[in-house]
Chains A and B, each alone.
Chain A
Amino acid sequence: MASITDLDRAHVGETKSRVVLDSMAPIPAKVRQIRRETNDVFTLTLEPPAGIIEAFNGGSANGFTFAPGQFNMLYLFGVGEVPISISGNPLNSKQIVHTIRATGTVTDRMKKIKRGDMLGVRGPFGSHWPVEASKGHDVVIVAGGIGLAPLRPAIYHILSQRELYGRVILLYGTRAPADILYARELERWRGGFDVEIQVTVDTAGSNWRGNVGVVTTLIPKISFDPYETIAMICGPEIMMRFTIKELVKYGLTYEKIYISMERNMKCAVGLCGHCQFGPKFVCKDGAVFRYDQIKPFFEGREI
């Protein structure tokens, strides 16, 4: 946690702390488009404001750039601020896209936002999916529920350079057919014949022709080379825990597995300690972690 003196020092101009202070100030961005994905999930497309580009991208005027897996702090004026993953295409710097689930005070109110309204944005923050390090490897992406949103930028990135990767497999589990995110996009990707996509739901009515069962049941159905595979997992912690166990059963080792953690955050820059996870801060060391680096804490309780 930063002391008052640290912050004071920043005021008098120490470069590193200066950046920290700048990144504490949300910059207003206009809501360009709202898309209702499911009953409680919606996607906001924001106009990148000039300010955010200068403040966070070293003054480059090329639009909003981020790495797949990073997040922004979104501030609904007068209500509160929440950390939300960026779910848009990293190659499109002319927009900031967030897929949000209405699940608390701030996100419930955010659901009521209208086109043209303003949201405060700070970011992008945090680590990213190993999309570069995965080149030449098979990639197994496992998403649970809203966990598909932080993975979508990684999928866009991989598909934009498809030839540089081996087998690409997406396993996606969610609650019911009506909760499937980005359904049309999933169909389009599947139609490209170069990505294997398996979707499963926890329960369904008899008119659903797809898989029913938890997402881990899809792992025995796919084939990948365990020595040359990188896995990226995002979903509820319990889902990630069981997915890791299943992947390890098929030969994957911990340093080939990446997960994205979720914790309450406040500052997003490693100062306040709100999101501390063992010796790490989810906001600046994560949210994407290589599993071997956090395994003892991930398996522990009350962390």
Chain B
Amino acid sequence: MDTVERILREHPFFRGFEESHMETILSCGASVRFDAGQFLYREGEKANTFYLIRSGRVALETHIPEQGTIVFQTIGEDEIVGWAWLFPPFLWHTDARAIETVRAIAMNGICLRAKCEEDHELGYEMMKRFAQIIIQRLRASRLQLLDIYGTHMGTGGRT
């Protein structure tokens, strides 16, 4: 078993896929590395990949004119970066930058997308798993939006 295969087979995200699907998935993964400061992807570019982070941290960020770059989430070891490859228009909505050296498995989204269309069993499994990730991010984003540590949340009582 090569390294990529071992990593993918052991990763919780891919646990429970049936063997034929796992074979497909394995054929779409490749080991990649980004140095600190390099971008995994940039806003507006075509989204044809997703990444399973093996080590290092990735900042999801966006640029706001006159305010500069704002990081709104970091993603680390064992987490997945990017779901835009699975949904039209297949374009990235943020920048993803390596904060430090990042080692990852890059999954070929074009290949997987086509396989998911052909085989809806695979497509449904993939959809379920990405839906989980999107739900988590949505919940976290809601909390961030509430600005719970802001002064308006009121700490009139004991601090």
**Could you list which residues of chain A lie within 8 angstroms of chain B, going by C-beta atoms?**
40, 71, 82-85, 99-101, 103-104, 107, 144-146, 149-150, 173-175, 179, 200, 202-206, 208-214, 216-217, 221, 235-236, 238-239, 242, 262-265, 275, 282, 287
B68, B146, B159: the one contacting A238 at CB < 8 Å is: B146
Q: A103 — nearest CB in chain B belongs to which residue? A: B155
- For B74, what are the chain A residues with a Cβ–Cβ distance below 8 Å? 200, 210-213
Against A, the Cβ 8 Å flags (1 = close, 0 = not) of B146-159 are 11111101111111
Q: B37 — nearest CB in chain A belongs to which residue? A: A206
Are the CB atoms of B68 and A206 closer together than 8 Å? yes
Tell me the total A-B contact number using a CB cutoff of 8 A.
109
A119 to B72, CA, bound (A): 41
18 contacts between A and B (CB under 8 A): A85-B159, A103-B151, A146-B149, A150-B159, A174-B149, A175-B150, A203-B144, A204-B70, A205-B70, A205-B71, A206-B59, A206-B97, A210-B74, A213-B74, A238-B148, A264-B157, A265-B158, A282-B158
B57, B139, B148: the one contacting A145 at CB < 8 Å is: B148
Are the CB atoms of B157 and A265 closer together than 8 Å? yes
Main secondary structure of the interface of A (DSSP, over half): mixed
Are the CB atoms of A83 and B158 closer together than 8 Å? yes
Minimum CB–CB distance from B20 to chain A (whole Å) comes to 30
A291 to B70, CA, bound (A): 36
Are the CB atoms of A206 and B144 closer together than 8 Å? no
Residue among A100, A104, A235 with max Cβ neighbours from chain B (10 Å) = A104
Are the CB atoms of A149 and B70 closer together than 8 Å? no
User: Is B61 close to A, CB under 8 A?
Assistant: yes
Are the CB atoms of B147 and A146 closer together than 8 Å? no
User: Is B125 close to A, CB under 8 A?
Assistant: no
A262 to B144, CA, bound (A): 21
A211 to B154, CA, bound (A): 25
**Could you list which residues of chain B lie within 8 angstroms of chain A, going by C-beta atoms?**
57, 59-61, 68-74, 76-77, 97, 99-100, 139-140, 143-144, 146-151, 153-159
A204, A238, A242: the one contacting B71 at CB < 8 Å is: A204
Q: Taking A205-B70, A209-B99 as contacts, is the C-beta distance between A214 and B155 under 8 angstroms? A: no
- For B156, what are the chain A residues with a Cβ–Cβ distance below 8 Å? 103-104, 264
The 10 closest A-B pairs by CB, nearest first: A145-B149, A206-B69, A83-B158, A175-B149, A262-B157, A214-B143, A236-B148, A212-B74, A212-B71, A204-B71
A71, A204, A217: the one contacting B158 at CB < 8 Å is: A71
A145 to B139, CA, bound (A): 19
Are the CB atoms of A84 and B159 closer together than 8 Å? yes
Are the CB atoms of A242 and B59 closer together than 8 Å? no
- For A173, what are the chain B residues with a Cβ–Cβ distance below 8 Å? 149
Are the CB atoms of A262 and B143 closer together than 8 Å? no
A149 to B60, CA, bound (A): 30
Are the CB atoms of A205 and B143 closer together than 8 Å? no
A71 to B69, CA, bound (A): 40
Q: B76 — nearest CB in chain A belongs to which residue? A: A221
- For B155, what are the chain A residues with a Cβ–Cβ distance below 8 Å? 101, 103-104, 146, 262
Are the CB atoms of A238 and B149 closer together than 8 Å? no
A275 to B150, CA, bound (A): 23
For the A-B complex with A210-B74, A211-B76, A236-B153 known, give 8 more contacts whose Cβ atoms are closer than 8 Å: A149-B159, A202-B149, A206-B61, A209-B100, A213-B73, A216-B140, A262-B155, A262-B159
Are the CB atoms of A202 and B144 closer together than 8 Å? yes
Are the CB atoms of A238 and B59 closer together than 8 Å? no
Minimum CB–CB distance from A186 to chain B (whole Å) comes to 16
Are the CB atoms of A84 and B143 closer together than 8 Å? no
Minimum CB–CB distance from A271 to chain B (whole Å) comes to 17
Q: Taking A103-B155, A238-B143, A265-B157 as contacts, is the C-beta distance between A205 and B68 under 8 angstroms? A: yes
